[in-house]
Structure 1
Amino acid sequence: MTWLTVALVLVVAAAGLLRWRRPAWYWMTFGVTLASLRVLFRYATVMDACGLTVPPSRWRLALARATNRPAPESRPPRILRLRPTRTGLVLRLKLRAGQDAFDVAAASDRLRHSFSMYGVTSRELRSGVVEVRMTGYDVLKRVQMPAGIDTRPMRVPVALREDGWVHYRDYRAIPHALTLGATESGKSVYQRNLVAGLAPMDVALVGIDCKQGVELFPLARRFSALADNPDTAADLLDALVARMGEVYQLIRAEQRITADVPDAEIAADIWDLPDHLRPTPVVVLVDEVAELALFASKEEEKRRDRIITALVRLAQLGRAAGIYLEICGQRFGSELGKGITMLRAQLTGRTAHRVNDETSANMAFGDISPDAVLAAIQIPAEMRGVAVAGDSTGGWHRIRAPHTTLRQAVNTCNRHAHLTPDLPELAPFRPALTGAPVSSVPLAKAAPATV
């Protein structure tokens, strides 16, 4: 008995140490078994306490009376499957007559407490079937991207969701996006993960960084075009608008709308074209959009209107031509002038890191989901990188990108520099790779686009 007691104490101590230092290891060794047993044994009681049961049907009551048996109890949703994952449990439920998926979603916080899980979310798979995802620990505290991530074309894994799923930036599903965040909120790390994920793909990267290029120019070997001031940005955006027109002419010429061609082969965007004719897709990353919208003179106002007009055109028409926008900034509201709200309406994807005020969160989610606004303003300052991601459908979730240093992102871009496409219309904006020393640049002039 003494040795058995010592072994039991060692096991309990090891479990406690793992839970404190390595929660993912604890979950895979001890937590998943304990949580599965807890859910199965408590299921009927918890569902009844959370109001997720339905009274017995009339025919069951009639049968009980006819056979002189006790009245049957209320029934919870039927468990179709209980599947453990590396971060929690997935419970698939078959709803009873009269129940709704909203009932399960409304009771998610009560289920979290009752099953002693870290988080509970639910979604409707189909009529009458709901999937409840439970996380056993805080997956956003120490982000570890799972192996075997789906890497389809123009689909980049950039962060981990709080329910353990991978958050993808899918450009073909959501062509344009807006990313907001205060200083030191993790916005730059999110952008680095995005660039590092796009680097191995067949895509042209175009950057606009009006902070003299300190964020994007270290990654210049993988960029087809870069601009570090509003004047160059205006010319670059005009070149992209011209490229968009040329791509549409190519699509028109290759639409194949004659009567002898099946409907499925008619081209309406670049992804319907054959591989040998398909133009290279372009992702435009704007590091600080406010610098493009501010002006202090009449000439700067004309340049500003020219920039915003080009951005709105790319947002409205660029998807079919394979031009996608990633707009980043600290604020993005109507105070930036005319055309800004029209541009924001075209940015379907929304991501908000920690913001300084509620108004900034409203700029991202005010027209989408009030709950997402509340979640964005509750992000603590010490949790850099945590963000709220949503889209125009109203759905949202918390995410966190894995910490990627600027050196790691630069090494990734340098490793895939040979994949950088050379687009003729963007050739004047291709960053020079001469590596001129900073000390040789006069202070009275802007630094050249060098790496």
Structure 2
Amino acid sequence: MTDLVTLAELGGPLAAIGGAAYARHAYPAVYWSTIGLPVSVTRLLASYTSTMDACGLTVAPPRWRALAVRATTRREVRPVPPRRGLIRPTSTGLRVRLRLAPGQEPADVAASAERLRHAWGVHAVYVRDVKPGVVELRLVGFDVLRKVRMPRRTVGDLLRVPVAVREDATAFVRDYRAVPHELVLGATLSGKSMYLRNLLTKLAAQPVVLVGIDCKRGVELAPFAARLSALATDPDQAAELLPVLVKEMEDRYDLIKARQGIVPGTPEELITSDIWGLPEDERPAPIVLFIDEVAELFLVATRKEEERRDEMVTQLIRLAQLGRAAGIYLEVCGQRFGAELGKGATMLRAQLTGRVCHRVNDEASAKMALGDIAPEAVHAACAIAAELPGLAVVGDTSGGWSRIRTPYLSLADAAATCRATTHLAPDVPALTPFRPYVPPVPVEDSGPVVTPEPVTE
């Protein structure tokens, strides 16, 4: 009996410790909600003043306060930290606002983020400028990119869809109105197709015209044919489709000019408005063009193919330069996109504002995607491990960058979503000849409801 009691006394704590360790590895969100959150809050409250002092984030108190402390308590006047607001727990971490003292700036707090992470025992600390004199600390309790779960509170809108999770546990939203064109680079099995799959299925639920160019015989975009308004599966078909899109863009410019009363002969470059200024009943549906393996449009083997390539590149550049006002947006994907592809490659890349770089095979490929907008992000892109498909570095022309990862979405679920949203595809008569063939879904024969019986006399 004594042995059983001893075993229970020792086995209970050991089982609890082992269960906590297993939950921390297998179910980090559960571990954070039950154990990590209370521990981190306790550490923050207990060591807030000393941690801020150690990080150099304290300042001398006002003179009136120093005189009051000396007159009432006769103790030494200590520096004061930034005033802390309420601690707001989340499913992935904590959020707390700090009111900076005079003479401090958000960069001072951001420089101490790594020290705060170690002091409070969390996975990461991110600083966001809320308003002058106020910053928000976002404490992330665990690695949210290891097992991706999209935030529940994600607000989508027309041409604004959440497709991935940032490393600070917020949603990465692809906003075509703010970033009209985007370049997505990544090596084989880097997760580039998963990103494209998530983006396409989210757009499929909106009244948006989806057009695809997949020169790999359609193996990437063919499963979504039910929702695509046009699909080209080789360079020859792409050479026929691109002029139609350019003509559609020109027709939309004519519609804008007619609405504004501008002379029809006015050049497109002088038109500063866009389709969003038109009445809703006259506004044409936006078009998103997906190009998979863009290098296939540049590679040529004969003189005749070179002429075709030059025409296609010129049309793509025109769409990238003038398409935004006409509601035409580009999503260009590939493994490598540099000047060695040929004439016009660099000019086209310069028009692609958004950049998403998955794991690449060399540093030069990362520089092609991020080197001209966020040089600091190049090293982060080169450090992506092969064991984390879908992990990418996203940057924009503002110079900011962050790590993101797309959630897993099976090809069968994505294809089913596209089949269920076929009725949402706007009708564009010019693209009807390029609509892909979708075989009908076979209907299973359930047989007669009542088993027939022979007629007896």
Using the size of structure 2 for normalisation, the TM-score is 0.88
Decide whether the 8 Å contact of 1:221 with 1:420 is kept in 2. Answer: no
- Write the distance in 2 (CA, Å) between the matches of 1:303 and 1:70: 83
- Write the distance in 2 (CA, Å) between the matches of 1:318 and 1:96: 47
- Write the distance in 2 (CA, Å) between the matches of 1:127 and 1:155: 28
- Write the distance in 1 (CA, Å) between the matches of 2:147 and 2:238: 37
Decide whether the 8 Å contact of 1:177 with 1:347 is kept in 2. Answer: yes
The equivalent position to 2:416 in structure 1, one of 411, 425, 432, is 411
Deviations 1:11-45 (A, max 9, x none): 54443332122111111222222211211212112
The equivalent position to 1:232 in structure 2, one of 233, 237, 242, is 237
Q: CA deviation at 1:295?
A: 1.7
Residue equivalent to 2:247 = 242
- Write the distance in 2 (CA, Å) between the matches of 1:206 and 1:239: 12
Residue equivalent to 2:44 = 39
Residue equivalent to 2:367 = 362
Residue equivalent to 1:97 = 102
Decide whether the 8 Å contact of 2:370 with 2:378 is kept in 1. Answer: yes
Residue equivalent to 1:287 = 292
Deviations 1:150-184 (A, max 9, x none): 12111111111111101111111111101000111
Residue equivalent to 1:440 = none
TM alignment of 1:96-115, pairs within 5 A: 96-115=101-120
Deviations 1:360-411 (A, max 9, x none): 1111111122221111111111111101111111111111101112111111
Using the size of structure 1 for normalisation, the TM-score is 0.89
Residue equivalent to 1:431 = 436
The equivalent position to 2:322 in structure 1, one of 317, 320, 341, is 317
- Write the distance in 2 (CA, Å) between the matches of 1:213 and 1:68: 79
The equivalent position to 2:74 in structure 1, one of 69, 72, 76, is 69
- Write the distance in 1 (CA, Å) between the matches of 2:125 and 2:73: 41
Q: CA deviation at 1:343?
A: 1.4
The equivalent position to 1:392 in structure 2, one of 397, 412, 415, is 397
Unaligned runs of 5+ in 2: 263-270, 441-457
SS in 2 for 1:30: helix
Residue equivalent to 2:313 = 308
- Write the distance in 1 (CA, Å) between the matches of 2:394 and 2:216: 25
TM alignment of 1:127-276, pairs within 5 A: 127-255=132-260, 268-276=273-281
- Write the distance in 1 (CA, Å) between the matches of 2:303 and 2:77: 79
CA RMSD of aligned residues (A): 2.3
Aligned identity (percent) is: 55
What amino acid does structure 2 have at the position aligned with 1:305?
D
Decide whether the 8 Å contact of 1:210 with 1:227 is kept in 2. Answer: yes
- Write the distance in 2 (CA, Å) between the matches of 1:431 and 1:227: 8
SS in 2 for 1:291: helix
- Write the distance in 2 (CA, Å) between the matches of 1:148 and 1:55: 41
What amino acid does structure 2 have at the position aligned with 1:254?
R
- Comparing 279-288 and 413-422, the one that deviates more: 413-422
What amino acid does structure 2 have at the position aligned with 1:407?
A
The equivalent position to 2:55 in structure 1, one of 31, 41, 50, is 50
SS in 2 for 1:167: strand
- Write the distance in 1 (CA, Å) between the matches of 2:255 and 2:410: 40
Q: CA deviation at 1:7?
A: 6.4
The equivalent position to 1:27 in structure 2, one of 18, 28, 32, is 32
Residue equivalent to 1:379 = 384
SS in 2 for 1:399: strand
Q: CA deviation at 1:194?
A: 0.7
